[in-house]
Amino acid sequence: MTPLKITFQVSGGFVPPPYPLHLDALLAYAQTFDALGDVADDPGIPQLRALADDMPIQRFEKDGDWCYMASAVQPEGPVLNDARFYTQRMNQDDYSARVGREHIQHGRHKPGSPMERYQIQLETARGVHRNLLGFYPVQQSATSSGALLTLVGWCIAEKWWVEDRLLNGRITHLGARRRSGHGKIQSIAIEEDNLAMSQWRLRVRPWKLLDDDLEIRAAWKPPYWAPENRGTAFCSSQLI
């Protein structure tokens, strides 16, 4: 295994997700999609999750638990913390009519199959189609207007495998609000760097390892979205 520094240059600013974005999460995403061609049609969730079980990333083990030695991705250099205003309004009658004519696939409904009443119903008070009015944070480079933002991550892994997963164009954006043009990857650089031997700890872990660690409730291994992976954890105050 090799200590590595991965540098991303992104345009459109970076919208940080609610929890730290871990480098091993990106690699697990790429690993899963690269392996999909070798599985049967309509694989179940356990089969999909198993595709990223054996990633060649060093593990840190302690007190009967483990996490990957891969840091969260975070900005490098001076950062301007900005915000964007957004609205979302849905025309219920028009949307419902388009679903009924099968111009729009709503939820898990397959075109041509009978639809239940709840599959046509549009909820604008809650859920993904709710009417919205608010702000979201954006991190941008403070060096000059329109400059690319540098994001870095650290890991201890097989370099050839990391290059194969990150440089194939599978991952195109980082962070949230990608459809709004944020976090578009313009370049990725992967280099050996011994600082990764300590910097990998800038992540969520089930143990306290740094002096500025704060206690949170979060997942510390992929898949990070899985509720059963969440628990009492610790991470550096730099990531919150």
CA distance 199 to 150: 16
Q: What is the DSSP string of 48-116?
A: HHHTTTT-SB-EEEETTEEEESBPBPEE-S-EEEEEEEEEE---HHHHHHHHHTTSS--TTPPTTS---
- From the list 176, 14, 150, 148, the residue with the least C-alpha distance to 81 is 14
Q: Is 126 left (phi over 0), alpha (psi -120 to 50) or beta?
A: beta
pLDDT level of residue 205 (50, 70, 90 thresholds): very high
Contact 119, 109 (CB under 8 A): yes
pLDDT for res 239: 86
pLDDT per residue as tens digits for the range 36-75: 776 667 767 777 777 778 899 999 999 999 999 999 999 9
pLDDT for res 48: 75
pLDDT per residue as tens digits for the range 6-38: 999 999 999 999 899 999 999 999 988 887 776
Over residues 201-228, the mean pLDDT reads 92
Examine the pLDDT at 158 and tell me if it is beyond 90: yes
pLDDT for res 148: 92
pLDDT for res 197: 96
- From the list 127, 128, 134, 121, the residue with the least C-alpha distance to 92 is 121
- From the list 30, 16, 26, 7, the residue with the least C-alpha distance to 177 is 16
Angle made by CA atoms 70, 76, 82, in degrees to the nearest 5: 115
- From the list 186, 83, 188, 75, the residue with the least C-alpha distance to 141 is 75
Over residues 190-210, the mean pLDDT reads 95
Token output for 172 = 């195109």
Over residues 84-100, the mean pLDDT reads 74
Question: Whole-structure pTM over 0.85, yes or no?
Answer: no
Over residues 149-156, the mean pLDDT reads 96
pLDDT level of residue 194 (50, 70, 90 thresholds): very high
